[in-house]
Amino acid sequence: MTLARMALGLMLTCAAALAQAQSPDHYHGGSPPPHGGDHYDVRYAHNQYYPVHGAYVTTLPRGPVVVARPGGNYYYSGGVWYRPYGPRFVVVAAPVGVFVPVLPPFYTTVYVSGIPYYYANDTYYSWDATQNGYEVVAPPGTDPPPTTQSPLPPPAGDDLYVYPQSGQSADQQAADKYECHKWANSQSGFDPTQSGGGVAPEQSATARDNYQRALRACLEGRGYSVR
């Protein structure tokens, strides 16, 4: 996983949650779920399973992000969006224009005219620094067609492997990564989610190194092995 992808995952993602008509089954999207009624998202080679819109669950995944809207709350977890429906919850499309603090645990970066979008479950997200969050946006234009590769190669040495030595849950790992990313950014001024790290070109190499050291120190201090 590249440093930029780990940081952009920002990291605070909820565990992937998929649902059955009677009760939710929680699984990550690499293999088929044990029940029917699910959608296999192959766009941009995303290749993950999600519950179909209109599926019902009796309980929400643990710790969803709550998004208040005039017509009622939305609940967001693992790239899946829910709304209350009587005593249950129904899987719905993501509402365009809302902001969330985290990306889904599985997402695909798509570039359109050099601008990165983050795709999962038929939904596009765009980072908004003024809101310090990801906005759900309409599908970006396709002229030129979207690509799933960065127009610039990632900087050398940005591969970091983070292992939870203390058995941290997926939710805790995501929270720790996000918080350490924010702290490392505040210490170094470097933000791998921004073009050039958000710093002057002549400062990029030094700022990136400072960011990596700060990120490593923060994660190791929280009980992770970082290589």
pLDDT-derived band at 193 (thresholds 50, 70, 90) equals: low
Which of 144, 78, 75, 151 minimizes the C-alpha distance to 109?
151
pLDDT given for residue 185 in this prediction: 84
pLDDT given for residue 195 in this prediction: 64
DSSP string spanning 89-121?
EEEEPPPTT-EESS--SS-EEEEETTEEEEEET
Residue 219 lies in a domain: yes
- Per the structure, how many domains does the chain have? 2
Identify the domain boundary among 95, 110, 138: 95
Instruction: Indicate the pTM of the whole model.
Output: 0.52
pLDDT digits (tens, 9 = 90+) for 168-186: 776 677 778 778 888 888 8
**Residue pointed to by tokens 């058995």:** 167
pLDDT-derived band at 16 (thresholds 50, 70, 90) equals: very low
Q: Which stretches does DSSP call E strand in the chain?
A: 18-19, 24-25, 38-41, 48-51, 56-57, 65-67, 74-77, 80-85, 88-92, 99-100, 108-112, 115-120, 123-128, 133-137, 162-164, 224-226
Query: Which structural domain, as residue segments, surrounds residue 208?
Result: 162-226
Residue 60 lies in a domain: yes
pLDDT digits (tens, 9 = 90+) for 116-134: 899 999 999 999 888 888 9
**Residue 145 pLDDT more than 90?**
no
Out of 35-49, 56-70, 92-106, 136-150, pick the least confident.
136-150
pLDDT given for residue 36 in this prediction: 39
Residue 101 lies in a domain: no
Identify the domain boundary among 95, 116, 145: 95
Residue 181 lies in a domain: yes
pLDDT given for residue 224 in this prediction: 87
Give the pLDDT mean for 74-97. 93
Residue 3 lies in a domain: no
